[in-house]
Structure 1
Amino acid sequence: MELDLITLLGNKLGILFIFAFVLSRLKPFRSLVAKKNINLSDKILLSIVFGIFGIVGTYFSFEYYGGLINTRIIGVATGGLIGGPFVGLLSGVIAGVHRGLIKSGEFTGLACAVSTIFEGLMAGVMGVFIRNRNNKWVYAALTGTIAELMRKVSVLLISKPFEKALEFVSNVWLPMIIINSVGLALLFMIIENIFKEQEKMIAYQSNLTLKTVDKALPFLKNGLCSDNVKKVSEVIYEMTEFDIVRIMESGVLVAHTGFGIKDEIKEELTNIAYVTESGKPLVVDVYIDIKNEKKTPYTLLMLPLKENGKVIGILELYKKLSRSMSSVDLEIGNGLAKLFSTQLTLTKLENDSKLLEQSELKILQAQINPHFLFNSLTVIGSLCRIDVEKSRNLIIHLSDFYRRSLNLRKDMVDLQTEINHVKSYVYIEMARFEEKLKVIYDVPENLNCFLPPLTLQPIVENAIKHGILPKKNGGIVKVFGHKNSNVVNLEISDDGVGIDKNKLDDLLYGDLNTGDSVGFKNVDMRLKGIFGEEYGLQVFSEKDKGTTVSLSIPVAEE
């Protein structure tokens, strides 16, 4: 008799699996099941789906000895294993209430209705337990076994008379455990396969998108207006299955790869306006009349290319309608557009940074006081008659100083080049002020680091102009450097009049475009912008005792 019951249940199980297979092919169901984190509405929808699954299992049953032999638990337990206790419990309530309301198998109706609810809750708890485990189908089979044992205990406790309940249970417990446990394991394999297919699709999309971007990004470094943008469309065309790839900038076509000649395809202005204004992708069906071909239907995917959140171009991806635009194509297109937009934004920021740095250098260059030139020429003129050699050296240093200051084309210079620039400036100042100024250099030549040009000279100038010269007897400026681990520490100190606290704050935190803080603040900003916040200027000053400005530069590996 047990073999007959297994055969009958097996036939019902086959019909149930046809239903499960059809359900698993439906895109909304696959998307719902494949979600890693599901919200309350998703859980309710899952509960309804698997509750109906349980009801189908009830209808695919047959009456035996006053009860129903069925596969209801497969749907309910699957819901619990996937969605957790809430989904398991609600699926059990839906399928259990239905079981209690039907007339067939009334002998076990109440017992099965009650047990179905608790079986669903148990499956939900089991789902939490096995969430990060492998071979979930084994636990699914175990869940089916426990659920069937719970149902049989419920029948023995609730169904009357007890003797009839005991006879019913003794005849059906083994076939139902075998069929429902095996069926639940097999069904769970189908559900798990949805996850695996989804993961494979995501991996494929990500891998293809990253490979395409890796090849295309070097050609986007100068933006959409560069001559290399054509290479971007060629890379996308070669790496993906799109039939035509086009790139627009401000409504003008800048790249075309694929079938046809670029001028033969005319985009709808309304479509371009929609993507540009909304910043959202658009999928439309279009007909293209290409030479030597009939009008061919295509699906067009239009994707916004953004720079700092503003749409500056459109990536157009065409695919023949006969080959259809798949969800994979849509995801790849969206991924490409987002990554390209990120690169365009980074390129814009990099260009803006370079322009800012150039403007900062212009500010420093403009800061070179013309009075310094006039005073230097006056000194040279007076020395021409009494010390020709010294006047000659002054002209050389003055020439060298202005050549370095006014022709700054490098982003970074080595430390010795910067020191030489300082020495040219100091030589001229010492000729003007003679014994009142003394400058000492203690910077080893083997200190290997690079720093922005015009970093040290403004600091030394400030030390001479505001520290030493106001002092009646003059003073000494020291330029000191040493290596400490992986940084070079530099100090410019003087024994001058010092700086009062209010002026010191203005020097570092005041308006960039006013007063003597221009040079200091500019140097501080450039050092922090290039090396990081910890590499700015530090100023220590005491009234009538002097000032020390220190900075650190990372050691250059080569």
Structure 2
Amino acid sequence: MLSPAVDIALVCAVAVLTIAAVGALGFRLSRSQRDLGSDAEQATYATLHTASLASAHLRAGLSPAGARKASRHLRDLLDCDTLVITDASAVLAWDGSVNDTPFRRQRLLSAAALVLESGRTRAFRGAALRALGLGGGELLVSPLAVNGQTVGTVAVFAPTVRAGLVRAANEVAAWLATQVELAELDASRAQLMEAEVRALRAQISPHFIYNSLNAIASYINTDPARARELVVEFADFTRYSFRRHGNFTTIAQELESVDRYLLLERARFGERLKVALQIAPEVLGTVIPFLSLQPLVENSVRHGLETKDGQGRITIAAVDAGADAVITIEDNGVGMDPEYLRSVLAGHADGDHVGLRNVDVRLRQVYGDSHGLVIDTAPGAGTLITMRVPKSQPENRPTNA
């Protein structure tokens, strides 16, 4: 049996250890809490995170499917009973405790119509709410204004509509309108790119087509096998160039089209045209805008070599440059005046070099101004065109030719 003194010592030791353990746990918890930031910082993070979750469903604009998924997160932002999103004529999303029925939808659209007409936020309480046949608390409807036009509403059911909820609902409606504007901007950008691709297709030189067909015809009697080969290459080239969908391809696919183009041109130029390729295998899968290399190579052939005496040389290179793939197209042709080139790239000059501007504009639209074409040239000095594109582009998907 232990003495009383030893018992007291053991009890004190256990108490000290317990206090130390609790203190250590409290310290760790308080430190963890500090690592997460203050209450205000945590609230800010939670709000931004919720908005980020909602925005992911609005990338395609204000569609019913996107609105339904986003409404859950937007209701969390407002901490309201029920949130409804409408466009100018229909309910797109209804999320919350207030039952969604055909009658309620019809009456809610009547309230939304008043806001769509005035463009101003309205609160419906008491008699005004009962007149709509919508009971249970109060209703707030905020306009959804996109590019200065009211295209929909954000409606909120709450026990009481207070000033804070009005401000918050208006902010959510403004944020939602911004997401819709961004989606429309992305759609407009895609449409613009498609229009520019169509313009490039239209600019595929009738002169080239005429000369290619003439070259093919010249082999029909003397070398039928060669003529058949050229017909197949011509068909494959036109099939790729005039495909109906997809704004992006890969360096490998684009080089295949360039190879067919040069094969047809060599049938015409013969030994006058020499081509060298220096392609790093690791960049072949890099995504690039559709029809971005062929116009540059055609520019070298038509404007650099066609009027040049003697042999013409074109060197096409693609190398790995860290985060980017760098593609160069160099010819020993007649070159051009740098001032005229600047005028062409600025859109101030019409002429046969518009393919250069088209490719330059599309590169800047997709990757930013720092990724525009870099062109070194001078009369009689040939031309060197450099294109730099990011190797990682998860947002841009190539289309199989």
Q: CA deviation at 1:205?
A: 7.0
Q: CA deviation at 1:359?
A: 0.9
2:220 alignment partner, SS class: helix
Q: What is the distance in 2 between the residues matched to 1:232 and 1:557?
A: 26
1:497 aligns with 2:334: yes
Aligned match of 1:337: 173
Q: What is the distance in 2 between the residues matched to 1:324 and 1:504?
A: 66
Contact 1:478 1:494 in 2 (8 A): yes
**Residue 287 of structure 1 aligns to which amino acid in structure 2?**
L
Aligned match of 2:139: 300
Q: What is the distance in 1 between the residues matched to 2:46 and 2:320?
A: 47
2:242 paired residue among 403, 406, 413: 406
Contact 1:305 1:337 in 2 (8 A): yes
Aligned match of 2:298: 461
Aligned match of 2:194: 358
Judging changes above 3 Å, is the alpha-carbon distance between structure 1 residues 237 and 301 closer, same or farther for their aligned structure 2 residues? same
1:287 aligns with 2:129: yes
Aligned match of 1:57: none
1:108-119 alignment runs, 5 A limit: none
Aligned match of 1:423: 259
**Residue 446 of structure 1 aligns to which amino acid in structure 2?**
E
Aligned match of 1:522: 358
State the Cα deviation string for residues 19-50 of structure 1 (Å, max 9, x = none): xxxxxxxxxxxxxxxxxxxxxxxxxxxxxxxx
Q: Which runs of 5+ in 1 are unaligned?
A: 1-198
State the Cα deviation string for residues 384-438 of structure 1 (Å, max 9, x = none): 2211232122122211211110115333322222211111100001101212222
Q: What is the distance in 1 between the residues matched to 2:268 and 2:102?
A: 70
Aligned match of 1:440: 276
Question: % of aligned pairs identical?
Answer: 26
Q: CA deviation at 1:249?
A: 1.2
**Residue 242 of structure 1 aligns to which amino acid in structure 2?**
C
Q: CA deviation at 1:281?
A: 2.8
TM-score by length of 2: 0.77
Q: What is the distance in 2 between the residues matched to 1:375 and 1:369?
A: 10
Relative to its length, the structure with more helix (as a share) is 1
Single out whichever of 365-374 and 536-545 deviates more from structure 2.
365-374
Judging changes above 3 Å, is the alpha-carbon distance between structure 1 residues 339 and 429 closer, same or farther for their aligned structure 2 residues? same
**Residue 428 of structure 1 aligns to which amino acid in structure 2?**
L
Q: CA deviation at 1:499?
A: 0.9
Contact 1:511 1:517 in 2 (8 A): no
Q: What is the distance in 2 between the residues matched to 1:249 and 1:438?
A: 60
Contact 1:510 1:517 in 2 (8 A): no
Q: CA deviation at 1:535?
A: 1.1
1:315 aligns with 2:157: no
State the Cα deviation string for residues 244-264 of structure 1 (Å, max 9, x = none): 432221244333342352434
Judging changes above 3 Å, is the alpha-carbon distance between structure 1 residues 207 and 367 closer, same or farther for their aligned structure 2 residues? same
State the Cα deviation string for residues 167-219 of structure 1 (Å, max 9, x = none): xxxxxxxxxxxxxxxxxxxxxxxxxxxxxxxx96x779756654553443333
Q: What is the distance in 2 between the residues matched to 1:203 and 1:502?
A: 54
**Residue 360 of structure 1 aligns to which amino acid in structure 2?**
E
1:367 paired residue among 203, 221, 227: 203
Q: What is the distance in 2 between the residues matched to 1:507 and 1:290?
A: 62
Q: CA deviation at 1:305?
A: 1.7
Q: What is the distance in 1 between the residues matched to 2:42 and 2:122?
A: 23
Aligned match of 1:223: 61
1:479 aligns with 2:319: no
Judging changes above 3 Å, is the alpha-carbon distance between structure 1 residues 271 and 463 closer, same or farther for their aligned structure 2 residues? closer
1:312 alignment partner, SS class: strand
1:387 aligns with 2:223: yes
Judging changes above 3 Å, is the alpha-carbon distance between structure 1 residues 555 and 470 closer, same or farther for their aligned structure 2 residues? same
Contact 2:83 2:94 in 1 (8 A): yes
**Residue 299 of structure 1 aligns to which amino acid in structure 2?**
E
RMSD of aligned alpha carbons: 3.1
Q: What is the distance in 2 between the residues matched to 1:290 and 1:281?
A: 17
Judging changes above 3 Å, is the alpha-carbon distance between structure 1 residues 212 and 537 closer, same or farther for their aligned structure 2 residues? closer
Judging changes above 3 Å, is the alpha-carbon distance between structure 1 residues 373 and 450 closer, same or farther for their aligned structure 2 residues? same
Contact 1:438 1:476 in 2 (8 A): yes
2:198 alignment partner, SS class: helix
Q: CA deviation at 1:342?
A: 1.9
Single out whichever of 295-304 and 414-423 deviates more from structure 2.
295-304
Q: CA deviation at 1:273?
A: 4.4
Aligned match of 1:261: 101
Q: What is the distance in 2 between the residues matched to 1:491 and 1:218?
A: 37
Judging changes above 3 Å, is the alpha-carbon distance between structure 1 residues 533 and 211 closer, same or farther for their aligned structure 2 residues? closer
2:386 alignment partner, SS class: strand
Judging changes above 3 Å, is the alpha-carbon distance between structure 1 residues 496 and 306 closer, same or farther for their aligned structure 2 residues? same
**Residue 506 of structure 1 aligns to which amino acid in structure 2?**
S
Q: CA deviation at 1:303?
A: 1.3
Q: What is the distance in 2 between the residues matched to 1:222 and 1:440?
A: 44
Judging changes above 3 Å, is the alpha-carbon distance between structure 1 residues 557 and 538 closer, same or farther for their aligned structure 2 residues? closer
Judging changes above 3 Å, is the alpha-carbon distance between structure 1 residues 371 and 483 closer, same or farther for their aligned structure 2 residues? same
Higher RCO structure, 1 or 2 (CA under 8 Å, sep 6+): 2
**Residue 451 of structure 1 aligns to which amino acid in structure 2?**
I
Q: Which runs of 5+ in 2 are unaligned?
A: 1-37, 395-401
Judging changes above 3 Å, is the alpha-carbon distance between structure 1 residues 310 and 437 closer, same or farther for their aligned structure 2 residues? same
Q: What is the distance in 1 between the residues matched to 2:101 and 2:327?
A: 62
Aligned match of 2:376: 540
Q: Name which one, 1 or 2, has greater alpha-carbon Rg.
A: 1
Aligned match of 1:142: none
1:19-418 alignment runs, 5 A limit: 206=44, 209-210=47-48, 212-237=50-75, 241-257=79-95, 258-259=98-99, 261-264=101-104, 266=107, 272-274=113-115, 277-278=118-119, 280-285=120-125, 286-288=128-130, 296=135, 298-319=137-158, 323-407=159-243, 409-418=245-254
Q: CA deviation at 1:243?
A: 3.6
**Residue 301 of structure 1 aligns to which amino acid in structure 2?**
L
2:219 alignment partner, SS class: helix
State the Cα deviation string for residues 327-370 of structure 1 (Å, max 9, x = none): 55334423322321221111111111111111111111111123
Contact 1:208 1:239 in 2 (8 A): no
Q: CA deviation at 1:483?
A: 2.8
**Residue 182 of structure 2 aligns to which amino acid in structure 1?**
L
Q: CA deviation at 1:240?
A: 5.4
Q: What is the distance in 2 between the residues matched to 1:230 and 1:365?
A: 40
TM-score by length of 1: 0.57
State the Cα deviation string for residues 30-82 of structure 1 (Å, max 9, x = none): xxxxxxxxxxxxxxxxxxxxxxxxxxxxxxxxxxxxxxxxxxxxxxxxxxxxx
